[in-house]
């Protein structure tokens, strides 16, 4: 082992970048240098970009190095050359193992900000029992509440020993998972925290009645045309969201004015269209929930003793009446033309609990649709169900596209309820739990614990892990309160709808102990509550590995981009996609006065069902932040890895991949102007651009980020 001391030369004082240099002589028989051990003698941690030797050997670091005052152990960095465990040079084997052990920790104690320890825990930090019993939340994870695992690091609650304490920022995550300074200044965790904990109180001071709805549809439009007058920003509070802060006048008032969402800009009345209602399920924010109808009659799987009769009121006769111009019911079922958005069994157990909350309601819902000859979906019926409550029997009703004025407004209200259900499912299940954020964190933890820096799979996966743990920790702190399991079956939709914008866009492996430990821990620990499920793939061959890694990369890049970066443009106009329904359907046990109010002013009834003014504006603030690309965003195929650059074969393959991504953008653009693809092209339609690979910073409605970074 060779030793030397490095001294710095300032490179850029403005951004605190320094070059450290040292000299040492390497004996001729020393062999190839494969690792560098670094000791930081300063009192605080330092960020290392890379280490370069005179002979051209590079050590890409991109990592924080702790002070020796905090931890006397030296940091280990390996050269950019990759090695499988079985190929590791003898001189590096012990260092390879030592480095991974340091990342696992011992499972004890509270984590410190300088540490790089990755360990697992249940989701036991969603509540705050130390601040009152009303703020306690159930622990998610375990046999009763299956849930993925997350990174741990804080002390336990003094009130509930099963709950971790919830702290304000900073929030422990391993040092290398934190946002860069650029992202912190723009659209990162600090902006999100500021938006909800600083801007929202200002809004509450203006909208003192948190239950008040929008009196007129023009009041919703004013959020984009004129803005909201609020008190002038104090101590930089509102400056956290400069894109929303339009002006400050001499009277010390400020105006928060929202950019016009693309749905509103293209067609203000698209939300009234049945076709657009269905198109959202294929080319909107939540395109993975629609299912093919395979069995009839539609039946609930819930206990009828608790939730009431299981059979749906959507009958064959109702469907026949709606599709008689196209085909018979039997033909539609046999030809796979019937589709359903089914939130009936998922939501019904929560209906009574939600209805106990003031100005909030819920139903179990089913929405039945027909695939028409031109490839678009047409709604046939919506069924809303309320389970037995307070001695009253189950209530359910089927709504169909209207032929009378009363039915028209009931149909519009039923669609608003369904959209609210879909918006909730999108955020909690499609976006958070099953398909992106929450499901990904165990993969990140296991990758750092079991795949060495030198492992080629580590270098392939880590760009897809960037910032995810940071944004997840912030989500737990300020957004997420509870969760439910998704029971949906495979939908079979891709095989039946050709114009589906979202969908269209061995021995060596088995003997690799790092890969096997990585995959075993993901299954047995990270997703331990589902470890015995039959759908887990085996990891024995190179084909298995390709499938697993490709899936992880798709989830972190394409899947997340599809459900995240369109939130402002596709969800920002409240009538187009309400996030909550606040009132019951007018025909559910109304009083004479309530029914007459609906008959006289149906528009008022619909506006009262939409989110309140405060809820709507809070959602716009949140959507604006979450839909924004940071200036330092890394896009799929955009930035190569130093290790790949050094290998001609890998570099050529990556360049080929990048070229195919450019072709993909051209294909998507051509599809969006193809008049035969009616789910993409048409007057007033927002083109489907969420899977176009690259984007500028800000709210663009496009761009596939490498990782779940917001």
Confidence at 508, pLDDT banded by 50, 70, 90? low
The b/e string for 220-244 (b: 16+ C-beta within 10 A; e otherwise) is bbebbeebbebeebeeebbebbeeb
Average pLDDT over every residue of 315-337: 94
Mean pLDDT of the chain: 83
131 vs 276, more confident: 276
Ordered by where they begin, the domains of the chain are 7-80 (2.60.60.20), 274-419+583-601 (3.10.450.60)
Q: Is-catalytic flag, 560?
A: yes
Q: What is the pLDDT of residues 555-571, one digit of tens each?
A: 888 888 888 888 888 89
Residue 710 bears catalytic tag: yes
Q: 181-185, 366-370, 706-710: which has the minimum mean pLDDT? A: 181-185
Q: Are 583 and 418 in contact (CB under 8 A)?
A: no
Active-site entry in 66, 344, 417, 431: 431
The per-residue pLDDT for 475 is: 72
Model-level pTM? 0.87
CA angle 203, 207, 213 (to 5 degrees): 120
Residue 437 annotated in active site: yes
Which has more confidence, 155 or 348? Answer: 348
pLDDT band at 309 (very low <50, low <70, confident <90, very high): very high
Average pLDDT over residues 150-175: 73
pLDDT above 70 coverage of the chain, percent: 86
At 349 the pLDDT is 95
Instruction: Output helix, strand, coil percentages for the chain, rounded to the nearest 5.
Output: 40, 15, 45
Q: Is 236 left (phi over 0), alpha (psi -120 to 50) or beta?
A: left
pLDDT band at 185 (very low <50, low <70, confident <90, very high): very low
pLDDT score at 170: 60
Note the pLDDT of residue 29: 82
Q: What is the mean pLDDT of residues 523-552?
A: 87
Catalytic residue among 344, 464, 491, 560: 560
Upstream peptide bond of 262 is cis (omega within 30 degrees of 0):
no
Q: By mean pLDDT, which of 104-113, 248-257, 288-297, 326-335 is the weakest?
A: 248-257
CA separation for the pair 560, 117 (Å, rounded): 26
pLDDT at 346 over 60: yes
* Count of all residues that appear for the chain in the document: 710
Tell me the CA distances in angstroms from 287 to 280, 497, 609, one per residue in order.
7, 12, 24
Q: Is 364 exposed, middle or buried (0-12, 13-18, 19+ CB in 10 A)?
A: buried
Q: pLDDT category, 496, cuts 50, 70, 90? A: low
Told to judge if 564 belongs to the known catalytic residues of this protein, a careful annotator would answer yes
* Tokens encoding 110: 């509270």
The answer to whether 290 is a known catalytic residue is no
Q: What is the pLDDT of residues 127-149, one digit of tens each?
A: 777 777 777 788 888 888 888 88
Confidence of residue 681 (pLDDT cuts 50, 70, 90): confident
Residues 249-276 have a mean pLDDT of: 83
Q: Which of 314, 323, 445, 710 is catalytic?
A: 710
Residues 6+ apart with CB under 8 A from 251: none
Of the CA atoms within 13 Å of residue 366, those in its CB half-sphere come to 28
Tell me what pLDDT residue 499 has: 65
pLDDT at 431: 79
């Amino acid at each position: 082992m060779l030793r030397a001391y490095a001294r710095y030369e300032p490179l850029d004082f403005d951004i605190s970048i320094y070059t450290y240099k040292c000299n040492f002589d390497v004996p001729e028989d020393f062999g190839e240098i494969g690792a560098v051990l670094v000791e930081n003698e300063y009192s605080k941690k330092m960020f290392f970009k890379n280490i370069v030797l005179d002979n051209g050997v590079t050590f890409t670091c991109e990592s924080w190095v702790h002070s020796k005052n905090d931890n006397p152990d030296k940091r280990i960095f390996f050269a950019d050359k990759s090695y499988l465990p079985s190929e590791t040079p003898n001189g590096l084997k012990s260092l390879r193992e030592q480095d991974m052990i340091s990342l696992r920790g011992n499972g004890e104690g509270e984590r410190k900000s300088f540490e790089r320890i990755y360990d697992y825990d249940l989701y036991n930090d969603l509540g705050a029992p130390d601040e009152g019993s009303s703020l306690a939340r159930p622990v998610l994870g375990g046999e009763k509440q299956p849930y993925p695992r997350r990174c741990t690091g804080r002390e336990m609650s003094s009130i509930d020993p099963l709950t971790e304490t919830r702290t304000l920022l900073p929030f422990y995550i391993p040092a290398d998972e934190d946002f860069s300074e650029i992202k912190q200044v723009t659209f990162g965790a600090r902006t999100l925290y500021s938006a909800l904990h600083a801007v929202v109180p200002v809004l509450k001071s203006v909208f003192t009645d948190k239950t008040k709805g929008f009196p007129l549809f023009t009041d919703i439009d004013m959020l984009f045309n004129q803005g909201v007058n609020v008190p002038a920003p104090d101590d930089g509070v509102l400056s956290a969201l400069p894109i929303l802060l339009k002006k400050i006048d001499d009277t010390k008032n400020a105006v928060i004015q929202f950019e016009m969402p693309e749905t509103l800009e293209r067609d203000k009345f698209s939300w009234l269209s049945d076709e657009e209602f269905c198109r959202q399920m294929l080319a909107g924010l939540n395109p993975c929930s629609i299912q093919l109808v395979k069995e009839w009659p539609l039946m609930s799987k819930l206990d009828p003793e608790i939730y009431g009769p299981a059979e749906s009121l959507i009958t064959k006769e109702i469907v026949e009446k709606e599709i008689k111009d196209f085909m018979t019911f039997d033909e539609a079922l046999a030809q796979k033309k019937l589709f359903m958005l089914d939130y009936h069994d998922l939501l019904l157990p929560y209906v009574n609990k939600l209805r106990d909350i003031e100005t909030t309601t819920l139903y179990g819902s089913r929405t039945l649709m027909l695939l028409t000859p031109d490839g678009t979906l047409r709604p046939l019926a919506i069924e809303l169900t309320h389970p037995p409550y307070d001695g009253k029997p189950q209530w359910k009703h089927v709504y169909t596209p209207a032929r009378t004025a009363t039915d028209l407004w009931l149909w519009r209200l039923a669609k608003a309820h369904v959209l609210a259900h879909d918006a909730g499912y999108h955020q909690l299940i499609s976006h958070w739990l099953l398909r992106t954020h929450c499901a990904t964190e165990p993969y990140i933890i296991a990758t750092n614990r079991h795949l060495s820096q030198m492992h080629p799979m580590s270098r392939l996966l880590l760009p897809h892990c960037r910032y995810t743990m940071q944004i997840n920790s912030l989500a737990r702190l300020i957004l997420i309160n509870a969760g439910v399991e998704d029971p949906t079956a495979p939908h079979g939709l891709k095989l039946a709808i050709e114009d589906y914008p979202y969908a269209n866009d061995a021995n060596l492996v088995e003997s690799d102990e790092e890969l096997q430990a990585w995959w075993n821990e993901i299954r047995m620990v990270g997703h331990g509550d589902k470890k015995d499920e039959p759908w887990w793939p085996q990891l024995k061959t190179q084909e298995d590995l390709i499938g697993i890694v490709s899936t992880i990369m798709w989830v972190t890049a394409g899947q997340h981009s599809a459900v995240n970066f369109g939130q402002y443009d596709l969800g920002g106009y409240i009538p187009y996609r309400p996030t909550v329904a606040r009132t019951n359907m007018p025909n559910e046990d109304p009083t004479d006065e309530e029914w007459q109010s609906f008959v006289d002013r149906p528009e008022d009834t619909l506006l009262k069902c939409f989110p309140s003014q405060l809820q709507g504006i809070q959602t716009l603030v949140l959507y604006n932040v979450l839909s924004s690309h940071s200036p330092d965003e890394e896009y799929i195929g955009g930035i190569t890895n130093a290790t790949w650059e050094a290998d001609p074969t890998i570099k050529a393959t990556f360049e080929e991949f990048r070229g195919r991504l450019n072709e993909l953008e051209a294909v998507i653009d051509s599809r969006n102007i193809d008049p035969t693809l009616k789910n993409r092209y048409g007057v007033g339609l927002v083109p489907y651009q969420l899977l176009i690979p690259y984007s500028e910073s800000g709210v663009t409605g496009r761009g596939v980020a490498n990782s779940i970074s917001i």
